[in-house]
Structure 1
């Protein structure tokens, strides 16, 4: 009987995996300018026709002194049928560091242009994601901001899988700038392999805790690394039988109504936050796959700056 149940669980695990792709720090106007006023990431997403949710920092629109050009870039993103809009605050502050008043003002400031663009489009700005996934330094601060977001009709958006692409991309771009294509390719391939391991890990964790795979929410960023490697990651995930779903579909999974037991400012996966047993959470975090070589390379790069 146990063997049959195990086989059935594995079959379910293999057949019913799904993920929503969410992209933070949109639009990357530096990359847009470097690529000849073209968002190659958006073009590649357009060709794949995958549903994505983007989380916007409107401060980016003033970068390089060309607000209208950057605003038009954001318009291009938001005009796509497959794109869901999200607010990521105006200037990407850490809520736990600046406190309720300053952060709530930044949230409101961060929706102005997006709301203007969306007016009459049939789309709504209803999702919010905390910068650094830092939801507040204690339960009181978290509760205050949760109430504020509800009053503003925002859905606070978690994530379950990510792989520090912000770190990899700095190493990747440095290698490209130095003309070291071999090293850049190595970094990109390491990123893909480790991300797939993270997916396997968090799927296994969800099966262990909920008896089935949950609808995962993957967090990545608008950067050079994803411009070049997100299509390959999508291909590899499709080979693993993942379905690509909208953010709304992912959040329809009852797991996203789970109690959040974590009352600190760290930005780790919500699967950990839903674990009420602190020791089980710590044990799971200790065995999460990591790339020590990449971490060391990043730390060395930071020391040399």
Structure 2
């Protein structure tokens, strides 16, 4: 007859061995950053709908109950050069929700197109409302995010920009979970505002929402694997999103999705405390890839290192009116 005590002992031993072999669970952390405040493509958003959609996004932020940082384009606070108080109030809503606010330049300029002097001037112009708004709460602007993630094509330009930002009290906010979210958002807004309110439109919007969330979570999974391959551990990630209609509808599901994967949503400051963020940027091109890929380029990783990244489907590109991400 089988000895029950011995059987229990063997089960415990095998269980312990399995845990030991698997090792500790990865410490998954992610910071949420949302660009183009107060609203992406604000000039194309129906004026009557802007406060409604903004309120929807604020409600989603509250329901998600996660920290985050928003990045402001002050040019979006104006119409024909005139400051719009209701748009400044939108920024106050972000602060009331517990979000930090950073500088994303005044006009969302491309550093590689305008050059360093014009870019630096636009950064300074992008804090004329932001700095006093934060001062009312005893805060100062401390985060800067490059539009298009274009950070300079030469080490000299990057160093000069870093010196300029440091003098103004800014730290660069990199992105590791880069994505084509903007394409999905353009498609969603085009359908929402450009098609009659019919069951067909509702079905297309639902298809976009259902496709968008797994696409974004697959991006998180991909960059987690890239982190493991490059660094040997799970880096605290920085996730890029924008203030738009799609995220007003999907943010709660996105945050729930990463939490199901074992992620804790942390502040940008907590994520950037990881020493990997001090690594060299090896990118020399004209676009704006993930910092994980910039670090990989600094190590001359082969082309196949970057393989397998999820892409935006063709049908979404077509709805967005775009030919590529």
User: What's the TM-score, normalizing by structure 2?
Assistant: 0.84
Do the aligned partners of residues 17 and 302 (structure 1) sit closer, same or farther apart at CA in structure 2, a change above 3 Å counting? closer
2:49 to 32, 35, 38: 35
* Residues in 1 aligned to 2:259 and 2:83: alpha-carbon distance in whole angstroms: 39
Structure 2 CA distance, aligned partners of 1:217 and 1:184?
27
The correspondence of residues 150-189 of structure 1 with structure 2, limited to 5 A, is: 150-177=166-193, 178=195, 179=197, 180-189=201-210
Q: Deviation per CA, 1:138-161: give whole Å up to 9, x if none.
A: 222222111111111210110000
Equivalents in 2 of 1:141, 1:294: separation in Å? 38
Residue 7 (structure 1) aligned to one of 22, 32, 46? 22
Q: In 1, distance between residues paired with 2:186 and 2:273?
A: 34
| Cα distance change, pair 294–12 in 1 and its aligned pair in 2 (3 A) | farther
Identify the residue that residue 73 of structure 1 maps to in structure 2: 90
Root-mean-square deviation (CA), in Å? 2.3
Instruction: Quickly say closer, same or farther: Cα 1:87–1:36, change in 2 above 3 A.
Output: closer
- Structure number, greater radius of gyration: 2
1:179-231 CA-to-partner distances (Å, cap 9, x unmatched) read 31111111121111111111111101111222211100000000111010111
Check whether the contact 1:85–1:124 (CA below 8 A) recurs between aligned residues. Answer: no
CA contact (8 A) 2:28 2:262 kept: yes
Q: Is the Cα–Cα contact under 8 Å of residues 162 and 195 in structure 1 kept in the other structure?
A: no
After superposition, residues 1-305 of structure 1 pair within 5 angstroms as 7-8=22-23, 11-13=24-26, 16-28=27-39, 29=42, 33-35=47-49, 37-38=51-52, 39=54, 40-63=56-79, 67-80=84-97, 82-177=98-193, 178=195, 179=197, 180-275=201-296, 276-280=298-302, 282-294=303-315, 296-298=317-319, 301-302=321-322
SS at the partner of 1:193?
Answer: helix
**Residue 32 to residue 86, structure 1, CA distance change in 2 (3 Å):** farther
After TM superposition, the score normalised by the length of structure 1 is 0.89
Structure 2, unaligned stretches of length 5 or more? Answer: 1-17
- Give the number of equivalent residue pairs: 295
**3-state DSSP of counterpart to 2:36:** strand
Runs of 4+ in 1 over 6 A off after TM superposition: 3-6
Secondary structure (helix, strand or coil) at the match of 1:112 reads coil
Distance 2:288 2:21 in 1: 33
C-alpha contact (below 8 Å) 1:175/1:181 kept by paired residues: no
CA apart distance, 1:17: 0.8
Deviation at 1:163, TM superposition (A): 2.3
